[in-house]
Structures are given as structure tokens and as C-alpha cells.
Amino acid sequence: MSKRTWALTLTAVLGLSILLTACVAGTVPGDGAAADTSGAAAAVTPAQTDGTPTTSLGNMSTVSTMVIDRGLDEIGRACIDCHKEIQPGIIHDWRESRHGHVGVSCLDCHQVDKNSPMATQHENLIGTDIYMSALVPAATCGRCHVNEVDQFNASGHFRAYRQQIPKDSLHALVFKHEGQENSEFGSAPNETGCIQCHGTEIQLDEENRPTSHTWPNSGVGNVYPDGSTGSCAVCHTRHKFSIAEARQPAACASCHLGPDHPDIEIYENSKHGQIYAIEGDEWNWDAAPDAWEPGDYRAPTCATCHMSGIGELQTTHNVSERLYWNLWAERSEVRNSNDPMSPLLGDGEAGREMMKQVCQACHSELHTDNFFEQGDRAVNLYNVAYYDEAKKMLDELGEKGLLEENPWTDDFQLVYYHLWHHEGRRARQGSLMAGPDWAHWHGFFELQQDLYELEDIYNRRIETGQID
């Protein structure tokens, strides 16, 4: 049968059944045309018939018919039954997740103790013994994912927010300058910028719900009202919590980007990134933790080098573990501390050896060693030829009272800031993650320009004894 015949038959059958239904129901006896009109009218929502506009888009849930019993208790099922229509996106994610597979329900993560500072109750929970919170700190995940959270707690990600607490110059930048000390809106730069990557100390309103000044955010270092630190959902986003997702460079890129630490741009600039861009969609992203090896991928992503259990290496959620230098500080030093609050967290020598194990799953020893020798020379050059020289001038101008009080209007301090915080990091990180354009044109080229500019301003101020 041709398509046309099919269509005609289908229309005829449909038309007949509508007519029949209408006749049986007695709506419009015997009149086919009128029965059609009635059918159309019935499809219009009552609100529209009234002429009252409605903002509801209707039930768009693709999971609205889902009824799940397996592994859930009565309350656990009730969450899903309601939220599958209110936030079908959440339930859709969950049913695709490993949590959904093993019966980890909403309650397992969102239920809190009655005495928890974050405890709230839905109207349908009032009178029960069940308390919930929208907030799920890493500590909750750690009840099952023990080792992962312990490793996170020992990593640099742990201090993402905590390190900002004592930094007065940073608070001045964000609130005084960027927020213009506006009493009503001045917190906006912090809320829409800083806390979305670094996290913040989450505050609660009188009903124990997080305030808009502190939440929502995607900050990895959030400090929660129960005192725990960290958010896992930053890299493994809600409510799928996918290992495959966190292995993709995009998982890191929402924070590790931009002029001051263009890590995703460096990666894209690298040969690793080139291969990923061309064929990454064909790789196996789903292998079990510690079992993801070369062959599953043809080039590493951020997670491969910094976290994955390649060869004999063990998987780690301590992203500082395989690092030799601190490449974000004003001056790079070799890591030598066990304190997660220290910028030098890690054991540099041991970290380098671990990183080399990742490299050597694909590269020869000579290739690996020579690569790091190139990168280390770049870091050392930055330290002695740029940072040390710039710092010497800064200190001398400071001693002689030749620096403005507001660093953000002072040419010298502005260029100095860019030298270490932007250009200097680009040169160092570009060199050690094989992004030549960032090492050179956005890095060392800019650095020499910065240095000459600083020398120029310095000489003028020393000669005239004045800030011009």
C-alpha cells in the first residue's frame, strides 16, 4: 500500500471512531460536523474558554506515567510521584542515573536529622518525622562515597571558598569596587561571580531555606550550615551524577577558564584537546572507576591526568595530588604541605612522579622527561625574570610611598596584578599543559610588555618622587 492509501485509511478509521463515540455519548446525535466542533472545544482548557489567560504550559513531563516501586519506601515513592509532574527534569535525570538503578531515593540524600540546622518540612511532611533540605553537602555523599569525599577534603578544591575568607584585598575588590558599596545591590558581583565557582558560606532564612545571597551556586567549596564543606554536584551535575560527565573537559571548564586561568582554552589549544575535539564523541566514557585506560580514549582530558587511575595509579578525588608546582600563586613554588588550607598543598616530587605515570601510559620516558624540563624552565623563567623583578620594584615603591592607596586606579599596581594573575599564570599553565598560544602570545609576549611598562612607571616615580 502506498503512503497516500495508508493516510486515507487512517483518517477514515479515526473519523468513524470519533463519530461513533460522540453518538454513543449522546453529545450531538447524528451530526458529524457538530461532533467535530465539540471534540475541538473539549480539547481547549477551561481557562482558555473563559478568555482568562493562563501561564501554565500544561504537564510537559515525559515521566508523568512513571510509577516506580522497586527499592523505595512509601515516602520515597511519594517524592517521585509529585515531582515527576512538578520538576520532570529532576526525575528524568534520576531514573537515568546509577542512583536510580540501585534504588538510592530522594530521601537518601535530601533527608536530614530533625536537629539539623537545614531541616525543613514540606506541607505534606508536617506531622511526620521526616525532615528535608534542598542542600546536599559532600558530607552526605560521603556516607556512601567515603574515599572520594575524604580525598576531596584533602584537596585544593576543599579550600576553594575557605581560602577567600581572610583575603581583605579580595573583599575590597568585590564589594567596595565592583559592588560600588551599594547598600542594596552591592553584593551582586560576589553572588553572580565569585560564589558560583568558589562557593560561599550558605546562609539560611528563618524557615531554614537558603537565602538568595548565597544560593543557588555551583561553588565547589561551599561551607554548609552543618559545618561541612564541598559540593560534588559541581562536576557530577544534579540529578544524574554521571562519572562520564565528570571525565569530560567541560565538567572543569565552567570554572577553569578565562583570562586568569584559561585551562580549558589551553587544553583546546593542546594536541590532546585537538584529538578530543575531533573524535572524543566516539570514546568510551563509561568504564568503571580505576578501569578507564588508554584505548577507552585516544587523548587525556583534565580528569585523566589529574584524577583517573591510569595503569597502576589509583583514582583520586584529590586534584592536588599529582601536582609539582603551585601554578596559580604570585610566585610558583614546589608543593610541600599536608595542610589543605596551604597554597603549597601536596608533595611536589611525588606528585610529579604520579603525573609522569599518566603520561607514560602513552608517551616514552624521554618524551615525558623532556616535556617537563621544557615546562619547568618556563616556570623558573617567570619566577626569576618576571615575578622577582616586578616584586622588587613594587616593594621599593611601597616603601617610598609611591603607590596609590586604591590599587585599581594605580597604573603600576594594575599592571603588576595582570603580570602575575593573568599573563603569568597563562605562561606557566600554558607551558605545563602544552598550550603554546597561551604560553607564548597570551603569556610570555604579554609578560615582557608588562615588565617594560612596570619599569617605565617605576623609573618615572623614582626620578620625580611622585605618582604621576
Partner 1 sequence: MTISFRLTWPRVLLGLLVFAVIGGFVFPFLAWLVADQGIAATSESDFCVSCHTMEPMEAAYLQDVHGGNSPYGVQAACVDCHLNHANSAAYFFDKIRTGSHDMWVQYMTDTSQIDWVEKREHRESYTYDSGCLHCHTQLQEATMANTKAFVAHKPYFLGTTERTCVNCHPNVGHKDLLDHLPVEEAAMR
Sole window of 80-88, 138-146, 290-298, 409-417 interacting with partner 1 (rule: CB under 8 A): 138-146
Q: Which residue number, 145 or 391, has a Cβ lying nearer to partner 1?
A: 145
Q: Which residue number, 50 or 312, has a Cβ lying nearer to partner 1?
A: 312
Contact status: 103 vs partner 1 (CB under 8 A)? yes
C-alpha cell at 303: 580528569
Residue partners of 69: CB distance under 8 A and separation at least 6:
77
Which residues, 43 to 72, sit near partner 1 by CB under 8 A?
71
CB 201 within 8 A of CB 221: no
Sole window of 141-149, 265-273, 303-311, 379-387 interacting with partner 1 (rule: CB under 8 A): 141-149
Which of 39, 88, 89, 117 is in the footprint of partner 1 by CB under 8 A?
117
Contact status: 102 vs partner 1 (CB under 8 A)? yes
| Residue 418 beta carbon to partner 1: minimum distance, rounded to whole angstroms | 44
47: enclosing H helix or E strand: helix 46-50
Contact status: 369 vs partner 1 (CB under 8 A)? no
Task: Give the type of residue at 326.
Answer: N
Sole window of 19-27, 99-107, 343-351, 420-428 interacting with partner 1 (rule: CB under 8 A): 99-107
| Residue 146 beta carbon to partner 1: minimum distance, rounded to whole angstroms | 4
Contact status: 115 vs partner 1 (CB under 8 A)? yes
C-alpha cell at 322: 599529582
Residue 277 exposure: Cα atoms within 13 Å on the Cβ side: 10
Q: Is the dihedral of CA 145, 151, 157, 163 positive or negative?
A: positive
Q: Write the DSSP symbol of residue 345.
A: B
3: enclosing H helix or E strand: helix 3-25
| Residue 93 beta carbon to partner 1: minimum distance, rounded to whole angstroms | 18
| Residue 439 beta carbon to partner 1: minimum distance, rounded to whole angstroms | 39
* Cis-peptide into 92, omega within 30 deg: no
* CA distances for 174 relative to 60, 272, 369, 425, angstroms: 41, 36, 42, 21
DSSP string, 214-278: T-S---TT-B-TTS-B--GGGTS-TTT--HHHHHSHHHHHTTS-SSS--HHHHHHHSHHHHHHHH
| Residue 147 beta carbon to partner 1: minimum distance, rounded to whole angstroms | 5
Interatomic CA distance for residues 402 and 461, integer angstroms: 7
Q: Which residue number, 289 or 294, has a Cβ lying nearer to partner 1?
A: 289
**Closest Cα partner for 374 from 319, 435, 309?**
435
Q: Which residue number, 143 or 167, has a Cβ lying nearer to partner 1?
A: 143
Contact status: 113 vs partner 1 (CB under 8 A)? yes
| Residue 153 beta carbon to partner 1: minimum distance, rounded to whole angstroms | 12
Sole window of 96-104, 163-171, 228-236, 305-313 interacting with partner 1 (rule: CB under 8 A): 96-104
Q: Which residue number, 60 or 144, has a Cβ lying nearer to partner 1?
A: 144
| Residue 209 beta carbon to partner 1: minimum distance, rounded to whole angstroms | 18
Q: Which residue number, 118 or 359, has a Cβ lying nearer to partner 1?
A: 118
Contact status: 223 vs partner 1 (CB under 8 A)? no
Interatomic CA distance for residues 317 and 84, integer angstroms: 32
State the greatest distance between any 2 C-alpha atoms of the chain, in Å, as a whole number.
Answer: 104
Contact status: 288 vs partner 1 (CB under 8 A)? no
Interatomic CA distance for residues 206 and 404, integer angstroms: 44
Q: Which residue number, 37 or 314, has a Cβ lying nearer to partner 1?
A: 314
Which of 2, 114, 168, 465 is in the footprint of partner 1 by CB under 8 A?
114
Interatomic CA distance for residues 417 and 395, integer angstroms: 14
| Residue 84 beta carbon to partner 1: minimum distance, rounded to whole angstroms | 21
Look at residue 323 and give its three-state secondary structure: coil
Sole window of 59-67, 113-121, 196-204, 442-450 interacting with partner 1 (rule: CB under 8 A): 113-121
Total binding residues for partner 1 by CB under 8 A?
17
| Residue 101 beta carbon to partner 1: minimum distance, rounded to whole angstroms | 8
The alpha-helical segments, DSSP class H, found in 280-417 are 302-306, 348-359, 365-381, 388-399, 411-417
Q: Which residue number, 217 or 229, has a Cβ lying nearer to partner 1?
A: 229
Residue indicated by cell numbers 567515603: 146
Which residues, 142 to 171, sit near partner 1 by CB under 8 A?
142-147, 150
**Closest Cα partner for 231 from 327, 324, 161, 133?**
161
Residue indicated by cell numbers 533527608: 111
Which of 104, 307, 378, 451 is in the footprint of partner 1 by CB under 8 A?
104
Q: Which residue number, 59 or 147, has a Cβ lying nearer to partner 1?
A: 147
Residues that bind partner 1 (CB under 8 A): 71, 101-104, 108, 113-115, 117, 142-147, 150
